[in-house]
Amino acid sequence: MTAAIHFDKVWKSYGHDVVLERIDLQVKAGEFVTVVGASGCGKTTFLRLLLGEEAPSRGHILMDGRPLPAEPGPDRGVVFQRYSVFPHMTVLGNVMAGLEFAAAPFTGRLLGRARRHARDEARDMLCAVGLEGALDKYPAELSGGMQQRLAIAQALVKRPRVLLLDEPFGALDPGIRKDMHALILDLWRRTGLTVFMITHDLKEGFYLGTRLLVFDKLRHDPHAPGAYGARITYDIPLGQTDRQVYEDIRTAIGVPESAPLSPQTPPHTEA
């Protein structure tokens, strides 16, 4: 069901600009990988590679030992920071869409019993994310947090093998964000999915993941800013981080000195 991901010496460059440099990475099935890094250091490119939206310039990405498909597909679900849901469909319609695409190749719509079945499945999924009260609303009527819940339900109803989250809670208020953390951890524990989550919030990265990746450019050539790409500079199993490492990362990715953050022990224990 859930998949392992292997990056084998992956490079990504656009023309002469190297974005990612020799990424080597083994992710086991069921890991919750959080990705942090300064802006413009290849986090989003990393996610686009995983989506299949971009192809590596060199190297290979393997999913369960097989090459990753070269375009986005239902085996990898995604939630973006914004625009993840369809504004012209109701909440229920948004979640049913994924089921309908698979079952009705030509019309993209289901009728009769098949439709009722899909509706029930979508409704169950929406209950799991706490949207049972908003089934017939349009996304524009939902708050930011509810829209993200919908986007998560929409992705999970397809039972993907990997879930990709691109700063999914970046635009939410701190209180709402906390609820969303609880939700995503709960869903992750229940489904056992492999999750990649990009975040610019270091604390969130430490709190949610079982493993933290830090992307950073180590080498700079001031005369050719595009000559070197970012690499994975830290790859830490979480739950056993000491304060010094945390502070090092914080300075490396340029998170401002705010209130003293202590790396929280993730609320889950590794199997």
Partner 1 sequence: MMSRGGPVRGTATGTGPDGERTRMKRLINRQPGRVGSVLLTALPFVGVLLAYGIASALRLAENPNDPLLPSLLTLGESFLRLATEENRRTGDILLWSDTAASLIRLGLGVGISALMGLIIGIVTGLIPVVHRTLSPFLVVLSMIPPLALLPILFIVFGVGELSKVMLIIFGVAPFLIRDLQQRVEQLPREQLIKAQTLGASTWQIILRVVLPQVMPRLLDATRLALGSAWLFLIAAEAIAATEGLGYRIFLVRRYLDMETILPYVVWITLLAFAFDLLLRVLTRRLFPWYRGGRAPA
Question: In the complex, which residues of this chain contact partner 1 (CB under 8 A)?
Answer: 51, 53, 71-74, 76-78, 80, 82-88, 90, 97-98, 100-102, 105-109, 136-141, 151, 154-155, 158, 160
Give whichever of 85 and 214 is closer to partner 1, judged by the CB atom.
85
Q: How far is the CB of 54 from partner 1 (least distance, A)?
A: 11
- CB within 8 A of 5, min separation 6: which ones? 25, 26, 27, 50, 61, 62, 63, 68, 162, 194, 196
Q: How far is the CB of 164 from partner 1 (least distance, A)?
A: 8
Q: How far is the CB of 143 from partner 1 (least distance, A)?
A: 13
Q: Which residues of 239-258 are buried (b: 16+ CB within 10 A; e: fewer)?
A: bebeeeebeebbebbebeee
Q: How far apart are CA 67 and CA 235, in angstroms?
A: 23
Q: How far is the CB of 175 from partner 1 (least distance, A)?
A: 24
Q: How far apart are CA 185 and CA 187, in angstroms?
A: 5
Give whichever of 20 and 155 is closer to partner 1, judged by the CB atom.
155
Give whichever of 107 and 269 is closer to partner 1, judged by the CB atom.
107
Based on C-alpha coordinates, what's the Rg of the chain?
Answer: 19
Q: How far is the CB of 240 from partner 1 (least distance, A)?
A: 34
Give whichever of 155 and 202 is closer to partner 1, judged by the CB atom.
155
According to DSSP, the residues that pair with 194 across neighbouring strands are: 162
Q: How far is the CB of 160 from partner 1 (least distance, A)?
A: 7
Tokens encoding 78:
């995604």
User: Which among 34, 30, 27, 6 is positioned nearest to 203, based on CA atoms?
Assistant: 34
Q: How far apart are CA 269 and CA 212, in angstroms?
A: 15
Give whichever of 194 and 210 is closer to partner 1, judged by the CB atom.
194
Q: How far is the CB of 235 from partner 1 (least distance, A)?
A: 26
According to DSSP, the residues that pair with 8 across neighbouring strands are: 60
Give whichever of 117 and 219 is closer to partner 1, judged by the CB atom.
117
Give whichever of 197 and 214 is closer to partner 1, judged by the CB atom.
197
Q: How far apart are CA 23 and CA 59, in angstroms?
A: 9
Backbone angles phi, psi at 236, to 5 degrees: -115, 125
